[in-house]
Amino acid sequence: MKKYIIGLIVFMFGIVITNAQEADSEKKVDKPVRSPFESGILIDNQTNVIPTAKTLEMVIQHRFGKMDNGLSDMWGIYSPGANIRLGFNYSVRDNLVVGYGLTKKNMYSDFQVKWNVVEQTRENTIPVAVTLYGNMAIDGRKDAVFGTDYKFTNRMSYFSQLIVGRKFNDWFSLQATGSFAHYNSVDSTMNHDVIGVGFNGRIKFSAQSSFIFQYDVPLKIQGISEQKEFDAAKPNLALVMRFLPAHMPSRFISLLPMAFYNRIITCIITMTGQKASPIS
């Protein structure tokens, strides 16, 4: 009888130790930080945010033309210099999204991919998020535009970017980027290759409102320039106040007005194939 009692005590003690170990291992799981930015686009730059797997996004980006004509062209919406891009993004996995877009100017067709290599965690086990972004575009204009020595590859251009970001607290997020662009065919006064760096950020001052900014700097690198007199493009600075409605539509279909800067408006329509889950 004593053997049975001792065996039962050892068995129960083993269960207690196992449960304690499992509980301890669960506590050690360090989850990714909650939304450092509201979406995958900040003004007209990429962020390290990728929607959950099986999410389909429709992206509408519009750049106004000159607003001088007032109502006659709806303050630049329909002016000759206006441009628009329609795109679709699909999240293959929680850390991988692919997309396609078509732009009015030059009828560019672009194919893009974004991959979160690592995500920042809440307990700072991983202090930053690292993301790779790539885009390949095809110029859709007529063959004659590319001259007599035409090849299909003349239409192609490429853009790649490394994004390193950190959410410092609930109200401040910051990203640093390094980018490389290459055009297979350019005007004689331009360079095939361009390298740049940039900074993007968000300062949140209420649940629905934030101040967002971006600063892009094309680098002046004489070694890759094809011009005798080389003058790099000027830096680009964007400052935006963003206000969202207090009550957003459901997580299955949502319309997010992203920004109004330098006559740019971006909207994202999101449809997800997953059930909405509580924020954890």
Count CB-CB contacts under 10 A for residue 23. 9
Residue labelled with tokens 């007529």: 142
Q: Predicted confidence band at 181 (pLDDT cuts at 50, 70, 90)?
A: very high
Q: What is the pLDDT of residues 67-115, one digit of tens each?
A: 777 776 776 777 777 888 999 999 999 999 999 999 998 999 999 999 9
Q: How is the chain split into domains, by residue range?
A: 1-30, 32-272
Is the per-residue pLDDT at 195 higher than 90?
yes
Is the per-residue pLDDT at 18 higher than 70?
no
Please give the pLDDT value at position 263: 52
Over residues 53-69, mean pLDDT: 84
CATH superfamily, with its number, for domain 32-272: monomeric porin ompg (2.40.160.40)
pTM to 2 decimal places? 0.77
Is the per-residue pLDDT at 260 higher than 50?
no
Which DSSP category does 107 fall into?
G
Token output for 53: 């797997």
What residue type is assigned to position 15 of the chain?
I
Over residues 249-259, mean pLDDT: 39
Q: What is the pLDDT of residues 140-149, one digit of tens each?
A: 999 888 888 8
Strands (E), 79-155: 83-93, 96-103, 108-118, 129-138
Contact 182, 204 (CB under 8 A): no
Q: Predicted confidence band at 243 (pLDDT cuts at 50, 70, 90)?
A: confident
- The gap from C-alpha 78 to its chain's centroid, in whole angstroms, comes to 27
Handedness of CA 133, 136, 140, 144 (dihedral sign): positive
Over residues 244-271, mean pLDDT: 48
Q: Predicted confidence band at 230 (pLDDT cuts at 50, 70, 90)?
A: low
